[in-house]
Amino acid sequence: MERCLCRVRHRTFDRVFRAADRHGRGPHATEALLRLIGIEATIDVAAHGDDAASSKPAPDIVIAALEKAELDASCAVLLGDTPYEVEAATAADVAAIALRRGGRSDDDLRGSVEIYDDPAALLETLGG
């Protein structure tokens, strides 16, 4: 996943941020999760549950991440793997790229601008 995020960043974006769920993840839990999966150096800004009044599919966490990153919604893309993330992105006027994980169908991920089988497929599309 780190390689995929680095490629997305290199090819497309100035900043990469993470919008964590509201399920009890405060800033320390979010930082620990990013370290655990090895992408903390790739993430410039992380929004966490304490930054949003409502959880996904409400757009609160996406909007909080945009504000922390000082980005306009038109300059952002949300990478997610649930219908709730796609819905939250759409409600915040952010384009969503979805990954088919957990048995999700394309219909489940409706509203995404692109859908990939997994991070490797996205990485391949980005050239490597």
pLDDT in 10s for each residue of the chain, 128 residues:
445 444 454 444 444 455 555 455 566 666 665 666 566 666 677 787 788 888 889 999 899 888 988 888 888 888 888 999 999 999 999 989 898 988 899 999 999 999 999 878 887 887 75
Alpha-helix residue ranges (DSSP H) falling in 1-128: 2-11, 27-36, 60-69, 83-91, 119-125
pTM of the model: 0.75
Nearest to 63 by CA among 103, 17, 9: 17
What is the Cα–Cα distance from 36 to 21, expressed in whole angstroms? 16
How many independent structural domains does the chain possess?
1
Structure token digits, residue 8: 């997305």
The residue range of the domain holding 74 is 2-125
Q: Supply the CATH number for residue 119's domain.
A: 3.40.50.1000
